[in-house]
Amino acid sequence: MVDDAGGLQLVSDEDDEATVEGHAVEEEGTGINDGVEEFVEEGPKKMSKSKQRRLRQKEKERLHGASRRVKEKEDTKLGQEGSQEPSDDNEPLVSESEDEISASGDTTERKQRRARREPQPFTWSDCKWMLYVLPVYSDLDEYCHSIAPAWDEVSSDLKEYIKFGRINSHTDRALFKSLPITPRTTPTIFLFMPAHPEIPPSLMPIAEINPRTLKRWILHELPIVYRTVTSVEAAEKEAMLSDHPIMVVYTRSSHTTPLLKAMIYKFSHAVNFLVVNSDQLLPRRNDIVAKLYCSRWNLGDYH
């Protein structure tokens, strides 16, 4: 019994030692595993494919941006060197630009010279575009519609040296109120000069209006922009002594015809006119002779 108890005690002691050794081994194994796990955690971690693609894209952009910045710096440097040292090939271009600048400067100077012309006082020879012929009409009046073709024909023939227009008594109220006369009926045709309100407007009788009567009335009412001289000698003497160009017109007619009056009015902005009624110089009744005198020199005769 004593031996058996001693054996049991020995066995239990061995078991305790084995248990202790097992625990030690387990603890050592646990320490080894912990070290391996720690090594694995501290090593490079595995990245996802999408993150790897993003990193590669950023690297490409960084490299491409760096190369582009280097190229821009080189181009800027070359441009600065080229501007500091211009080549001989560019010299003709510079001269051409200078020629263009000088030419533009000359044209600008010429325009300024033209614009610097001082205003001249009004004379009858400057009234080319100051004559107006206007009808006051109404769309409700049948007579206004009937004379419209005659008005269009005459205005087309005389528009070179007379201003034509129309005023509607219903729609053009502002113009109607600003007229120098107050029309009482429609149509009312009148001739006036806005620049000279002292000259009263001329009213046309509206009994019978056709192209012939309308044109004759307009030519008859043209302003007198010439002077009538009694003798040929007086007219020629005045023309020779004048510093301005003068046209001496010789006619057999006792009064100036509407056609001659229109011709004088048309060219009155260029020359002054003197009219002489002479039967001796003109063999035929309808002959008209004109002599132009300019700067005290007789330039010739015009028949």
Q: Which CATH superfamily is domain 124-220 in?
A: Glutaredoxin (3.40.30.10)
Q: Are the C-beta atoms of 131 and 163 separated by less than 8 Å?
A: yes
Is the pTM value of this prediction over 0.75? no
Pairing mode, strands 202-203 and 188-192? antiparallel
* Locus of tokens 């028949």: 303
Task: Give the whole-angstrom CA distance, residue 263 versus residue 140.
Answer: 37
Whole-number pLDDT of residue 1: 44
Task: Give the whole-angstrom CA distance, residue 228 versus residue 224.
Answer: 10
* Sign of CA pseudo-dihedral 65, 71, 77, 83: negative
Cα separation of the two ends of the chain: 181
Closest CA to 133 of 114, 156, 115, 113: 156
Whole-number pLDDT of residue 149: 92
To 5 degrees, how large is the angle CA 66–CA 70–CA 76? 145
Whole-number pLDDT of residue 153: 92
Whole-number pLDDT of residue 46: 67
Lookup: tokens for 200: 């009263």
Question: For the chain, which residues make up each domain, given as ranges?
Answer: 124-220, 226-302
- Third-level CATH fold of 226-302: Glutaredoxin (3.40.30)
Whole-number pLDDT of residue 152: 92
Half-sphere exposure of 130 (CA within 13 A, CB side): 19
Task: Give the whole-angstrom CA distance, residue 154 versus residue 148.
Answer: 10
Lookup: tokens for 73: 């710096």
Whole-number pLDDT of residue 249: 84
Whole-number pLDDT of residue 281: 61
Pairing mode, strands 288-294 and 246-251? antiparallel
Q: Is 248 exposed, middle or buried (0-12, 13-18, 19+ CB in 10 A)?
A: buried
The amino acid present at 273, given as its one-letter code, is: F
User: Along the 303 residues of the chain, how does pLDDT read in single tens digits?
Assistant: 445 444 444 444 445 544 545 544 444 444 444 444 444 444 455 678 888 888 888 887 777 666 666 667 777 766 665 555 444 444 444 444 455 555 565 666 665 555 555 554 444 344 444 678 889 999 888 999 999 999 999 988 888 778 888 899 888 888 888 888 888 888 989 888 777 777 788 888 877 889 999 988 888 887 777 787 878 788 888 888 877 888 888 887 666 676 777 777 777 777 888 888 766 566 555 567 777 777 544 444 444
* Locus of tokens 């009155």: 268
Domains 124-220 and 226-302 share a fold: yes
